[in-house]
Amino acid sequence: MTEKISQQLLNDFAILPKRNTSPTFMEICQMGGDRFEERCSQIFKFYFNPNAPHGLKGLFINSLLEIMQNVELNYSFQGVRVITEDTTSDNKRIDIIVETDCFVMAIENKIGAKLYNPLESYVEHINTKYKDKKSFFIVLSARSINDISELRKIQSIGYQYINYQQLFTVVKRNIGDYISNCNQSYLIFLMDFIRTIENKFYNTHMEMNRFFFNNRFQIEELINEYNAFKESILNMQRENISDILLIVNQKTNAEWWKYQGWDLGISFNDNGNRIGIESSYSDETVDNPLGDFHIYITVWKEKCFNPYEEELRKKFPDCFIDRTQGRVYLHLPVIKGNDHDVIAEKLSEYYFYMKDLTSRIK
């Protein structure tokens, strides 16, 4: 791949709208399967209620009425009730019922499963229980229903099919009329919910997809070249670690280890509060592709750091302590340049200090 083509590819990629790859709160909670569908129904129950503390008033009801077309109804917010899992006379359950003073909506909420529900029973139940009100029947589905026979069945029973994406599109378009007095926390929760569904079911990044499809061969070549570039740097770091290992083993008369060739270390009190020294090259640059040499005093279980912490803070008062994913790293001063003797001397100094410390503190 020529430099000109590579640069053009990167320029084209730079101007594309990027995916938000950070997980939503719902994704972090790992809701899935039927439980996910139930949670979605409870979320809709909250946002369909214009009296709920979200402060978005009739945003969801009005947006749904807008999608249904030719439906102009005046209703009172005070008269709205939202019910989930309402039981019919034959012990079937309607996912969501939105009742107002002048109409009622029966919503069958579907996520990924096929529509096997007894819609006829739901119609009979609603028409009997709410016979004095106008009724609407809606299949609100996260998955796209494209099967003609399934759509005809929905319509023949008196239901209207509406996709989540349709509802969210209208909600996002209308939200500006409701946002000034809403509760900002619940607005954030709503946006998180919408993005969770879009991530799970909808392809909302066609520009990015088109770029990848149209340039996949050049991208693969670029990735291969980049991986080879990274491997060449890693091999260079491994070679230097091997040289340092020989020197530090002699200086300390101890057996240091190499983890995957690039991480040089040793541990103490392996049967108790295990603590150790780790070191590696990082912070590579164009002018310094090998990187600088970083040394850490570390534990593999956070609780093991507690007995040593006071002593280590006194010895290294200006060094940063990083606690992450159950481990603790005490960052010692970085060694710039690549003098193996200087590096090995520092590792030896830290080794003898830690050997003494761990002989006193178990």
Summarised one tens digit per residue, pLDDT across range 268-282 is 999 999 999 999 999
91 and 25 inside one domain: yes
pLDDT at 167: 93
pLDDT digits over 218-231, tens only?
Answer: 888 888 888 999 99
| Total number of domains in the chain | 2
166 and 250 inside one domain: no
147 and 249 inside one domain: no
Residue 222, in any domain of the structure: no
Residue 5, in any domain of the structure: no
pLDDT at 72: 67
Residue 220, in any domain of the structure: no
pLDDT at 79: 86
> What pLDDT band is residue 202 in, cutting at 50, 70 and 90?
low
Give backbone dihedrals phi and psi of 346, rounded to 5 degrees, phi first. Answer: -65, -45
Q: Which of these ranges, 112-121, 141-150, 250-259, 268-277, has the smallest mean pLDDT?
A: 112-121
Average pLDDT of 76-95?
A: 88
> What pLDDT band is residue 246 in, cutting at 50, 70 and 90?
very high
Count Cα neighbours of 121 within 13 Å in the Cβ-side half-sphere.
14
pLDDT at 259: 95
Q: Which of these ranges, 42-51, 63-72, 282-291, 310-319, has the smallest mean pLDDT?
A: 63-72
Which of 181, 204, 227 corresponds to the end of one domain?
204
pLDDT at 111: 80
CATH code for the domain of 33: 3.40.1350
64 and 176 inside one domain: yes
Does residue 159 contact residue 139 with C-beta atoms inside 8 Å? yes
- List residues bridging with 37 in a β-sheet: none
27 and 161 inside one domain: yes
Range of the domain at 53: 20-204
Count Cα neighbours of 334 within 13 Å in the Cβ-side half-sphere.
9
40 and 175 inside one domain: yes
144 and 245 inside one domain: no
Closest CA to 167 of 175, 176, 156: 175
Residue 213, in any domain of the structure: no
pTM: 0.55
pLDDT at 32 over 60: no
Which of 184, 204, 224 corresponds to the end of one domain?
204
Average pLDDT of 229-247?
A: 96
196 and 64 inside one domain: yes
Containing 7, the helix (H) or strand (E) segment is: helix 3-14
